Each structure stands twice: as structure tokens, then as C-alpha cells.
Amino acid sequence: MSNASQPRQDSPLTAEHTAAVDHAITSRRSIRRFLPTEVPRSVIEDILRVAARAPSGTNTQPWKVHVLTGQSRQTLVDRVTAAYEAEGNAHRHQEQYAYYPSQWVPPYIDRRRKVGWDLYGLLGLERGDKAGMHAQHRRNYAFFDAPVGLIFTIDKIMGQGSWLDYGMFLQSVMVAARGRGLDTCPQAAWNQFHAVIAEVLGLDEGSEMVVVGMALGYAAPDAIENTLLTERESVASFTQFLG
């Protein structure tokens, strides 16, 4: 078992510790093209073991993780891609929960549009290129070629607080992956096809629902889309200090 997963020891932290943690957080990006290099199961297990130290209300630990590699990954990719390409799929496949607001307002709509057009610009997709955008969105359902696909689910009985806990767990997965030289891409796009996912994974949709998907692997170093670096607001813009 990885030592990192054990309860903390009260040893003093060094500047090197701080730098390593900061680097793992700040170097995390949503990678959209991966190498086919396999990720050993032991590494995936270590990542999840460390991430399981994420906090959760009264230690409920509401996360469930489905790790797909090899043929199981390909089966899900094939089934969901076919559903995505089927005519009229928008009427047959609906998200189980609202990830985004029903009405967009500034500054959120401005940030959303900017990151979209920044990505499409890197890929050479111009406004109105619906076919190109459709094809790029379809790559979500191949986990952007990552050899490991993760599907995260939760029991429907759990409340809103457990979803907050889940976010901390997901961030822990991504940071632990970066600490091992791996990259990720959290993907809400999978949510629309929860019924297909449930059938492939054998989930009981009466009691369990898909939270999000995630690609895991090694970033393709020369892929232009992986040069995208999204902007972040300054601390002063979203923080109020009260003395």
C-alpha cells in the first residue's frame, strides 16, 4: 500500500513539499489528446487510494468508480459514439441532472464562450463549422484516446452535500494523477448517455446515477489542443477579506 494513503504523520513540511503540491495543482489541465501508452493497474489503484482521503460529510465517502481499459473501454466508446451519431439522439438521451444553469449571464457566459473559441481556434475550427465542432465533441466519447476511462457514479439517495464531497474527490484524483506524471480530462459530456452507460456497466438506474466521466493517461506532447491554458481570475476578484 502506498505510504501516501496512510494517516498523516506530524513531521514538518518543507518548501519542497509545498512546491510539489502546488505544482500538481497548477499543472493540472483538461487534456484532449492522449498517447496510447498503458497505465499500470497498480498506478490507478494508488491514485484512487490517495484520492479516497478526500473529505466527506460524516465520512460517507459517496463515490463509486468504474475503471475501463481494453475491451470494456472500447465497448463503452463504441456504444456511446453510436448513440451520439444516431439521428435525433438529443430527444432520446437527456442528462439526469442540470450541470449548467438554465439561463446564462455574465461573467459566466463570457468565460464559457472564450474557452470554447480558444480551443476551436487552436484546432482551426471557424464559427459555423458545425461538422468540425460535432466531430471534436465526439472525441469526448473516445476519452480523447486515453487508454483509461473512468466513470463516476453515486447512489441517488445521497443529498446535495455528497455532491460537494464528490467534487473534492474528483479534484484529488486529478491532482494525484499529476503527481505521477499523468493527465486527465473531467468530462460532463458522458452524462447525456447515462442510459447507455448503465446498460454497458450493469448499473441499476433506479438507485445509481452517473456523475461524470474522466479520461486518464499520458498527454500527447505535440497535440495543439493540449497547449490550451485557460485563464483564471485574480484572488482579489473573487475574495473578500474581513478583518
**Each residue of 92-124: pLDDT tens digit?**
789 999 999 999 999 999 999 999 999 999 999
3-state DSSP helix/strand/coil % of the chain, to nearest 5 = 50, 15, 35
Average pLDDT over residues 45-74: 98
Residue 28: band (very low, low, confident or very high) from pLDDT cuts 50, 70, 90: very high
φ, ψ of residue 43 to 5 degrees: the values are -70, -45
78, 197, 137, 175 alpha-carbon torsion, rounded to 10°: -110
Whether the CB-CB separation of 206 and 188 falls below 8 Å is answered with no
The pLDDT of residue 226 is: 97
Average model confidence (pLDDT) for the chain? 94
* Confidence class for position 209, pLDDT limits 50, 70, 90: very high
CA distance 214 to 39: 14
| pTM beyond cutoff 0.85 | yes
CA separation for the pair 32, 122 (Å, rounded): 12
Question: Would you list the domain boundaries of the chain?
Answer: 30-97+141-227
- The arrangement of secondary structure in 30-97+141-227, i.e. its CATH architecture, is 3-Layer(aba) Sandwich (3.40)
Pull the grid cell for residue 85: 451519431
Locate cell 497548477: which residue? 26
pLDDT of res. 76 = 98
Angle, vertex CA 107, rays to CA 106 and CA 112, nearest 5:
100
